[in-house]
Amino acid sequence: MKQVAIVGGGPTGMALALALKQQGIGSEIFEARPRITVKNDARILALSHGARQILEWLGVWSQIAATPIQIIHVSHRGGLGRTRMQAVDLKVPALGYVLAASDLIAALDAALQREGIAYHEQQKVCAGDTALAGYALTAWAEGAVDVEAATTRDYGQHAVLCTVSTANPHQGIAWERFTSDGPVALLPLGKEYAVVLTVASSEVDAVLAHDDKHFLHVLQQRFGERHRFTAATARVAYPLGLRWRQQPVGERQVWLGNAAQTLHPVAGQGFNLALRDLWELAQGLGSATDDLGAPGLLTRYAQGRQRDRRGAITFTNILIDAFASDFPPLKHARGVGLLALDLLPPLRDFVSRRMMFGARVWP
């Protein structure tokens, strides 16, 4: 019997194939798009220190150009209280890294070719497809969660993405600024900032229609005066919602990445969680003595990942709900919480490590 079929040749599927190879497990990737289209991914990714460790273990990190995040500054508009998380306090080289998805994919793709892992481009497969016959396990690593199998939440928001220039250098500081209109994130990327501006879905068309000057004015109002924005690139927008498959395994099947859960981008948990999922799956399959698709093996994987998956989803939802209102008592409570987090190093370090490593706080 053939070993693992990976449906989806994006970064999640590529990384899974490499992780399986390390465990001595063969796999083949099936991707509906042309390979060059996959490599031209325009997204910007924020990876945690834990994600860097996984990519180092896969042997691809040294080929990726990434901007380190030394400090994460968290605040909320119109209220007192803020928190600064610093890499130096946790004795790590950086809290996280910002990089172009295309750079990551290029490094993963080069590693696939070095390892001789089969990549079938422009081959769309679905459940029950004959192309999947004979595999011990099918890993679905591409596409959104099937709504019929998912718990969903529509946030009524879109993320507007671009990069901006600032009057002063970023100094490796990432900003997460919460407002009643939604969070604003600035992520250091090269000499610029990658921006994730959350707007109401009813307003996204108007925001996208702004010229650069008007857009920078809106961004300045939302973010505040800690940076002065001087230029912006073209904007794109994506709808924001929560979809997650409560049971990420089935009969000889497992779902990973966006096929298992799609999260709000606040706190940058999505792809970091996908990397932890695929790494744990590969480790678990590596310990299998015979059948890679055995029900008990998949059940143990799902149970082992439950705490981390639920934790990331709950953490994201709490942040969105807690910072969505300008109701004065709630705003005051938020400020107290941010101040307490800043003044209590053990609590701040726990939250920092949770963001870097997930529920399993690796050293």
**Structural domains of the chain, count:** 1
Contact 196, 269 (CB under 8 A): no
Full domain range(s) for residue 272: 2-66+95-150+241-325
Residue 130 in any domain: the answer is yes
Residue in the structure block whose two tokens are 């209109």: 181
Contact 50, 272 (CB under 8 A): yes
Residue 194 in any domain: the answer is no
Residue 205 in any domain: the answer is no
Contact 34, 57 (CB under 8 A): no
Q: Which amino acid is at 299?
A: T
Pairwise CA distance, residues 26 & 136, whole Å: 11
With cut-offs at 50, 70 and 90, classify the pLDDT of residue 329. Answer: very low
Residue 201 in any domain: the answer is no
Q: Tell me the per-residue pLDDT of 214-245, one tens digit each, with 9 for 90 and over.
A: 999 999 999 988 899 999 999 999 888 888 88
Residue 101 in any domain: the answer is yes
Which among 229, 205, 226 is positioned nearest to 217, based on CA atoms?
A: 229
Residue 206 in any domain: the answer is no
Residue 106 in any domain: the answer is yes
Q: How far is CA 292 from CA 25, 61, 130, 231, 289, in A?
A: 9, 28, 19, 52, 8
Which among 131, 174, 127, 169 is positioned nearest to 149, based on CA atoms?
A: 127
Q: Tell me the per-residue pLDDT of 282-314, one tens digit each, with 9 for 90 and over.
A: 999 998 878 999 999 999 999 999 988 888 887
Pairwise pLDDT comparison (258 vs 16), residue with the higher score? 16
Residue 287 in any domain: the answer is yes
Query: Residue 6 is part of a domain; what is its CATH number?
Result: 3.50.50.60
| 352: exposed, middle or buried (Cβ count in 10 Å: 0-12, 13-18, 19+) | buried
> Tokens at residue 148, please?
């019929």
Residue in the structure block whose two tokens are 């009813």: 202
